[in-house]
């Protein structure tokens, strides 16, 4: 499989796993194309044309010739200059690496991270929060993240990939969609009664089991093992954490337990006041599940040799 096809399939599979549904994404892309056509010629020069076919601004082919054949991939949760130098060192030892694949975004994908957070508005609406309320709170949070991302040196790691001549891709929300969908369906099917039951289910998953052996496995952050699980909301996609002001609305909507990748101290302090149970499944392990599920889909089209680094371990399903 060549790199162009690899990237095309990543976007396709990420769309199929999106909890908003394929028809929603199709409509949004149509709206964006219409907006683009209405732009002035000068403004069109600065428009992100890739967004007209890829709805995930934080998942991109960052560097590489689309015709490059991909057989061996170095996959990591975080790929920085150090990991690219590692890839270059491995190549110098006579071993093949055709592509470096990151989960967390770099380059233009990092700059575009705030854009994917609008996904959370639709997910919150599905949980019973009125669209306008979710939109109002999330827009404030998106602006916070945008201000933080603006100061980053977006191109640093991509520049290193170019200088080393190493094809580089990142799959952020596309992979997060997979783990979010996977865990929500699992909880809906198994219907755990307590937080202890949820932990037992999570620890049957190899990525979480490995994390637990390394003291970074799933943990109850709010509540205890005997607390009733009730209605469970798996909150693991949409760029990063949403608005901490929405926890009260989720509680009113009947959510009793949130399963998340991570939770900041500010968010934790706010959620405790709303008496919502919280289980932190684990950031890196959850990201690894998303990537593994994505790679499982890709390997139905072509077989790859996967080398893991930076917190990633390959588990096939």
134 and 248 share one domain: no
Place of tokens 């219907």: 191
Q: Measuring CA to CA, which residue among 45, 27, 36, 240 is closest to residue 138?
A: 240
Q: Measuring CA to CA, which residue among 216, 195, 200 is closest to residue 277?
A: 195
169 and 212 share one domain: no
239 and 301 share one domain: no
Count of domains forming the chain = 2
% of the chain at pLDDT higher than 90 = 83
161 and 218 share one domain: no
Tell me if 188 is assigned to some domain.
yes
145 and 210 share one domain: no
Tell me if 183 is assigned to some domain.
yes
Q: Which of 136-145, 231-240, 243-252, 300-309 reaches the highest mean pLDDT?
A: 300-309
Tell me if 314 is assigned to some domain.
no
157 and 82 share one domain: yes
% of the chain at pLDDT higher than 70 = 100
200 and 54 share one domain: no
Query: What local confidence, expressed as pLDDT, does residue 262 receive?
Result: 86
Q: Put residue 107 in one of left, alpha, beta given phi > 0 → left and psi -120 to 50 → alpha.
A: left
Query: What local confidence, expressed as pLDDT, does residue 294 receive?
Result: 98
Q: Which residues contact 241 (CB under 8 A, 6 or more apart)?
A: 141, 260, 262, 263, 264, 267
Pairwise pLDDT comparison (122 vs 201), residue with the higher score: 201
Q: How far apart are CA 299 and CA 304, in angstroms?
A: 7
Place of tokens 């150090």: 82
140 and 14 share one domain: yes
Query: What local confidence, expressed as pLDDT, does residue 76 receive?
Result: 98
101 and 249 share one domain: no
251 and 193 share one domain: yes
Q: What is the DSSP string of 131-197?
A: HHHHHHHHHHHHHHHHHHHHTS-TTHHHHHHHHHT--EEE-SHHHHHHHHHHHHHHHHHH--SBHHH
Q: How far apart are CA 238 and CA 116, in angstroms?
A: 6
Query: What local confidence, expressed as pLDDT, does residue 229 receive?
Result: 97
Tell me if 317 is assigned to some domain.
no
Contact 172, 58 (CB under 8 A): yes
Tell me if 138 is assigned to some domain.
yes
pLDDT tens, residue by residue, 159-218: 999 999 999 999 999 999 999 999 999 999 999 999 999 999 999 999 999 999 999 999
15 and 160 share one domain: yes
Tell me if 124 is assigned to some domain.
yes
CATH number of the domain at 244, please: 3.40.1390
Element (H, E) at 235: strand 231-235
Whether the predicted pLDDT of 119 surpasses 80: yes
Query: What local confidence, expressed as pLDDT, does residue 245 receive?
Result: 80
pLDDT tens, residue by residue, 21-44: 888 999 999 999 999 999 999 999
pLDDT tens, residue by residue, 54-99: 999 999 999 999 999 999 999 999 999 999 999 999 999 999 999 9
Tell me if 107 is assigned to some domain.
yes
Query: What local confidence, expressed as pLDDT, does residue 259 receive?
Result: 96
277 and 302 share one domain: no
Tell me if 166 is assigned to some domain.
yes
Place of tokens 């952050």: 221
Element (H, E) at 115: helix 113-116
Classify 103 as helix, strand or coil. coil
Which range is least confidently modeled, 163-167, 275-279, 313-317? Answer: 275-279
Element (H, E) at 33: helix 22-38
Kindly report the average pLDDT of the chain as a whole number: 94
The distance from CA 212 to its chain's CA centroid, rounded to whole angstroms, is 21
pLDDT tens, residue by residue, 220-270: 999 999 999 999 999 988 878 778 888 888 888 899 999 999 888 887 777
- The residue range of the domain holding 260 is 179-283
């Amino acid at each position: 499989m060549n790199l162009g096809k690899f990237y095309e399939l990543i976007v396709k599979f990420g769309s199929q796993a999106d909890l908003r549904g394929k028809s929603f994404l199709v409509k949004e892309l149509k709206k964006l194309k219409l907006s683009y056509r209405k732009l002035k010629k000068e403004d069109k020069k600065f428009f992100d044309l890739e967004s007209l076919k890829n709805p995930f601004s934080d998942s991109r082919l960052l560097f590489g010739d689309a015709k490059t054949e991909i057989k061996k991939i170095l996959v990591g949760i975080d790929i920085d200059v150090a990991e690219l130098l590692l890839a270059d060192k491995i190549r110098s030892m006579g071993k093949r690496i055709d592509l470096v694949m990151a989960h967390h975004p770099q380059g233009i994908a990092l700059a575009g991270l705030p854009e994917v957070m609008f996904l959370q508005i639709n997910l919150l609406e599905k949980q019973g929060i009125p669209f306008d309320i979710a939109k109002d709170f999330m827009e404030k949070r998106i602006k916070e993240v945008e201000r933080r991302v603006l100061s980053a040196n977006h191109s640093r790691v991509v520049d290193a990939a170019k200088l080393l001549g190493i094809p580089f891709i990142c799959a952020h929300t596309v992979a997060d969609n997979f783990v979010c969908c996977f865990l929500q369906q699992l909880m809906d099917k198994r219907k755990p009664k307590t937080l202890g039951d949820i932990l037992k289910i999570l620890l049957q998953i190899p990525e979480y089991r490995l994390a637990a052996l390394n003291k970074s496995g799933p943990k109850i952050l709010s509540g205890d093992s005997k607390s009733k699980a009730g209605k469970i909301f798996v909150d693991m996609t949409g760029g990063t954490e949403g608005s901490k002001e929405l926890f009260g609305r989720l509680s009113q909507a009947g959510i009793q337990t949130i399963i998340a990748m991570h939770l900041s101290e500010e968010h934790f302090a706010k959620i405790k006041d709303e008496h919502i149970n919280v289980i932190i499944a684990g950031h890196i392990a959850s990201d690894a599940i998303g990537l593994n599920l994505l790679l499982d889909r890709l390997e139905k089209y072509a077989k790859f040799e996967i080398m893991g680094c930076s917190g990633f371990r390959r588990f096939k399903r």
